[in-house]
Amino acid sequence: MGHSAAVWDTRAAIAVSKDWNGIDQVMLRNPQGASAKVSLHGGQVTSWRNDRGEELLFTSSKAIFKPPKAMRGGIPICFPQFGNCGSLEQHGFARNKLWTIDEDPPPLHTNDSHGKSFIDLLLKPSEEDLKCWPHSFEFRLRVSLAADGNLTMISRIRNINGKPFSFSFAYHTYLSVSDISEVRIEGLETLDFLDNLGQRERFTEQGDAITFESEVDRVYLGTPNSIAVLDHERKQTYVIRKDGLPDVVVWNPWEKKSKSMVDLGDEEYKQMLCVDGAAIEKPITLKPGEEWTGRVQLAVVPSSFCSEYLDPQ
């Protein structure tokens, strides 16, 4: 453990409580006062705050906190299907299921626990799940909060079936922004994307950054492992680093669609932006016994520091 354990007991930084539906939620804290909250409903991160207590994830004021419905906001997990590109319910069933705390998970790489408060969750299919998606799996999720406030999610999905299966996946991350018209995304320029507003037709990004003046619903393909979301008004940048997730979903419903969504306020599209690490265009296929790992790390830095955070491709 090293001498740091005496200074910062990561286990003491984890508290389990019940939400108003009686479902367990886990609060992670770091020594600087940052926090993250994870619900066992969906394995969903519902809050991520910096050391000043500012919320970094968006949750709709009209979000429905009532299982089995997924909550509009935070970071829902889309598995084994993203969107409606398959036979299952929108975004698959993982975000609507009750997960359990995994007391004895198989070890991860050593750096994935050192100096962090973290929780390990586990999802296995129910009889009901196997009827609509007949594949046995173990889905292990680690959510960790580092001393620097970075939030990391690591998903490990293992095939414990007798035959191969395929799935798509996304961390459907709702970022809180000051004003969508003041935001730009860097790192996706010149890439191809599938436009979900136009029958998944393929286009090439022409802008030198992605900015917003109307509804956007795209899957960017073959993306770099680091991208940046710059919020000019707040002078801060979200840096998203990922592994095992070749695609990036960018979504904002804009005015017209927002008004048709019962769990989103009419004007709330201005304060949110979804930027998801994902594997969608080419589904992941696992042979019996194989395991896939997909990781995303979210950091917030002052915008002036952004360039040194992005890896050159």
CB-count exposure of residue 278 (10 Å: 0-12, 13-18, 19+): buried
Count of alpha carbons within 13 angstroms of residue 128, beta-carbon side: 5
218 is in an annotated binding site: no
Residues near 312 by beta carbon (within 8 Å), at least 6 away in sequence = none
Q: Which two tokens stand for residue 248?
A: 């990036």
The total of other beta-carbon atoms located within 10 Å of residue 285's CB is: 12
241 is in an annotated binding site: no
3-class DSSP state of 306 = helix
Pairwise CA distance, residues 166 & 144, whole Å: 27
Pairwise CA distance, residues 225 & 241, whole Å: 5
Q: Say how far residue 121 (Cα) sits from the centre of its chain.
A: 15
72 is in an annotated binding site: yes
Q: Could you tell me which residues are annotated as the binding site? A: 72, 90, 95
Residue list for the binding site for substrate: 72, 90, 95
